[in-house]
Structure 1
Amino acid sequence: MQLDDTDRRILRHLLAEPGMATADLAERAGLTTATCWRRIERLREGGVIKGMRAVIDWRRLGWEVEVSLRFTLDKTHPRAFDEFLAAAREVPEVLEIQTFLGQTDVRLNAIARDMAHWQEIYRERILNLPHIQDTEALMLISAIKDSAELPL
């Protein structure tokens, strides 16, 4: 899909303030509300805008620990990936699952209320995931840059 300067302007404003009303977005982008709405719909239909969602600060809700886990799976089992991913989806504290080519096969991002809760999750849920050959846990200390903004 080809984007023009107006589409980029709309996207920049949506990235900065996703919940902005179409009328306000149109005003900031220098468009009529109807034109802005049509362009947003075209961007949705073209798959550029996949959806809008709330970004929740889990720490403010009492989830103090965030851990990134890297897994190498035992690929001698033909269904290792499928079975691991199916089981990982069932762990409610897992927020994100990514697969990779390379030494790391899968990365999970998980949260816990505190270190005792993390220990429970790790021992009872994470270590029981199937087909783990090797794992590495990286505990988040601080997020320096966390942005979905694009150079539009």
Structure 2
Amino acid sequence: MSDATDRRILRQLLADPDVSNADLAERAGVTSASLWRRLDRMREAGVIQAIETRIDWRKLGYEVEVSLRFTLDKTEPRAFDDFIAAARLVPEVTEIQTFLGSVDLRLSVIARDMAHWQQIYRESILTLPHVADSDALMLVSNIKNVQALPL
């Protein structure tokens, strides 16, 4: 579906999501009209889903990031739905993922400091429904965080 020109456009867009369309067209070596057609086609095909804003939570005072892994009580038919609905209501939960295997779900949670983390854990995490087992991993450093595919 995509050709070398599409991949060139995507590479440039990934490198600088704030680039203007005129600059993007120039960097990708296409006309503005061609760029528009290609971007529209890639959006319609679902290749480009959204241009996102990434927030550095640490710069906003959130110094703690915890990855929580959960195994749910699967004897409860609504375990996944109830858990996910409750987790979505926790403002500090930035990501919810489901898995196949021994771990059912993973939450990413941010907190300002350890006292705030303890408050979130006691008031919000421990009250999540249908938890059979959980495990917490505190982020120490982020070595690689790439959202892009090698195009």
Instruction: Name the TM-score class by shorter chain.
Output: over 0.9
Residue identity matched to 2:142: A
CA shift digits 1:79-106 (9 cap, x unpaired): 0000000000000000000000000000
CA shift digits 1:28-58 (9 cap, x unpaired): 0001111111101110010000000111100
Residue identity matched to 2:112: R
Q: Name 1:87's counterpart in structure 2.
A: 86
Aligned positions of 1:54-73 closer than 5 A:
54-73=53-72
Q: Name 1:3's counterpart in structure 2.
A: 2
Structure 2 unaligned regions, length at least 5 = none
TM-score w.r.t. the length of structure 2 is 0.99
Q: Name 1:78's counterpart in structure 2.
A: 77
Report the Cα distance in structure 1 between the residues aligned to 2:98 and 2:134, rounded to whole angstroms: 14
CA shift digits 1:107-148 (9 cap, x unpaired): 000100000000000010001000000000000000000011
3-state SS of 1:138 partner: strand
The alignment-based identity, stated in percent, is: 68
3-state SS of 2:97 partner: strand
Number of residue pairs matched?
151
Report the Cα distance in structure 1 between the residues aligned to 2:59 and 2:117, rounded to whole angstroms: 17
Residue identity matched to 2:111: A
Q: Which 4+ stretches in 1 moved above 4 angstroms?
A: none
Q: Name 1:35's counterpart in structure 2.
A: 34
3-state SS of 2:137 partner: strand
3-state SS of 1:110 partner: strand
CA RMSD of aligned residues (A): 0.5
Report the Cα distance in structure 2 between the residues aligned to 1:22 and 1:33, rounded to whole angstroms: 7
Give 1:8 shift.
Answer: 0.3
Report the Cα distance in structure 2 between the residues aligned to 1:27 and 1:38, rounded to whole angstroms: 15
TM-score w.r.t. the length of structure 1 is 0.98
Q: Name 1:110's counterpart in structure 2.
A: 109
Structure 1 unaligned regions, length at least 5 = none
Residue identity matched to 2:10: L
1:122 lines up with 2:83 in the alignment = no
